[in-house]
Structure 1
Amino acid sequence: MSRSTGSQRPQTAPGEEERAAVSALSHAEKIESARNRALKILTATAKSRHQLEERLLKAGEEPEIVTELLDRLENVGLLDDAQLAAMIVRTRFSERGQTRRAIAQELRRKGIDGEVAEEALAQVDDADEAGAAVEVARKKLRQTASLDRPVRIRRALGALGRKGYSSGVAMQAIQSVLAEEPAIPDDGGSTEDDLGDTGPGDDWI
């Protein structure tokens, strides 16, 4: 009677290997499906991890598959919240003149981590915001040059308020721009005192 030597492979029940192969293939197919969907979303517009996760789950992808895919996308650099946050801060500030406060709200809505957001917002300081406020005020006051001064001030305050500037910063910016304008002869109408008496008005948000 012969005796077998060496280790023997554990026997598997009939069909077990086939089921394992099908299970592995099914997982790979799910990852591929989620990957294709994610890349299509990212091609249209940059998303944070939180935003992409929401979109994939809403589309019916399984939570475990989504988590694994998002980790993979982060590892290869296709998903980067820090890079996205930095880009949002740069564009919102330089192109729209928004404040850090307003931009921070947008970053929170996108689900970007607080520490990541703070690091991105550090690109802008108080002096940057003060300068941007002057530019916003100058643009609005130029657009309303034909109107009475109180109306111009009120509308400039509204424009600055909607971008997140505090009333104090907004008023300083408006004063700075108005000081550059030629003096208007006193005809009994509005005066420099109007600047101090004019409140935010209906335009302030």
Structure 2
Amino acid sequence: MSNIVWHNHKVTRAERASNKNQKPCLLWFTGLSGSGKSTVANALDVALHERGYHTFLLDGDNVRHALCKDLGFTDSDRIENIRRIGEVSKLFADAGLIVLSAFISPFTSDRRLVRNLFPAGEFIEVFMDTPLDTCEQRDPKGLYEKARAGEIRDFTGIDSPYEAPERPELRLDTSSMSVDECVNALIDFLIGNQLIR
């Protein structure tokens, strides 16, 4: 690493964001499989796009098809997965974008590592606080059924822990809130914190 030198860009992060008339930030959707992370993140992405904001959505399954296709689901692989996503999210935010990341991200320490990459107020932890029984009833990918049958090991919420955020910026429960209600709560938060107008 001694021969690697950081190259400073002439166009600053603030200038890139100003050019887009928005403030960069990262909305980090965390929660169990089936809690609504991807669904709500996608709906928010559409809502922000329709309002003219520049966004990018990173989704757990999609990222594992390319950037993280060499990783499995052991604890160490999950940690590396989140580390990579955090760095990519930071690059997108440095480009002036509003970034939405939808990942189970079960470990508090990993989410803290990503938070620490961002200036204060730009990391928004969105805890999809949907109960396990609701997620398991939905089972959109059939993963809970496979985990219960022992066909999948280290599955979060079954035989691998999920460390729930203690103080997320937003807590949403899709067992009692519609997708539209979740999106409205997120938009209100972004407006209230002057991240969008």
Larger Rg belongs to: 1
| TM-score (structure 2 length as normaliser) | 0.29
Greater helix share, 1 or 2?
Answer: 1
Structure having greater relative contact order (Cα 8 Å, sep ≥ 6): 2
Greater strand share, 1 or 2?
Answer: 2
| TM-score (structure 1 length as normaliser) | 0.28
